[in-house]
A = this chain, B = another copy of it.
Amino acid sequence: MGTTQLETVPEPKYWHLKTVLSEALDSEFSVGEILPNERDLAARFGVARATLRQALEQLELEGRLQRRRGVGTTVAPPRMGVAVGSEEHVWPGAADDAWQPAGCATAPPPNAVAGLLGTARDEQVHTVRRSRVSQGQPVAAELLYVPRASLPALPEPPFPDAPSGAARARAVLRELQHLGLEGQDRAVELGSARVEDARELDRLPGAPVLVVTTRFFAEGRTAAVSVATYRADTCRLTFGDSGGVEIHHGTEDEVS
Interface residues of A (CB under 8 A from B): 5-7, 9-12, 14-15, 18, 54, 57-58, 61-63, 79, 81, 85, 105, 107, 115-116, 118, 163, 182-192, 195-196, 199, 205-206, 208, 210, 215, 217, 220-222, 232-233, 235-245, 248, 251-252, 255-256
Q: Is the CB of A187 within 8 A of B217?
A: no
Give, as a whole number of angstroms, the nearest-CB distance from A207 to chain B. 9
So how many copies of this chain end up in the complex?
A: 2
* Interface secondary structure of A, over-half rule: mixed
Q: Is the CB of B236 within 8 A of A189?
A: yes
Q: Are A11 and B244 in touch, CB under 8 angstroms?
A: no
Q: Which residues of B contact A61 (CB under 8 A)?
A: 190-192, 206, 208
CB of B189 within 8 A of CB of A58, answer: no
Contact in complex: A62, B191 (CB < 8 Å)? yes
- A113 to chain B minimum Cβ distance, whole angstroms, is 13
Q: What B residues does A237 contact at CB under 8 A?
A: 187-189
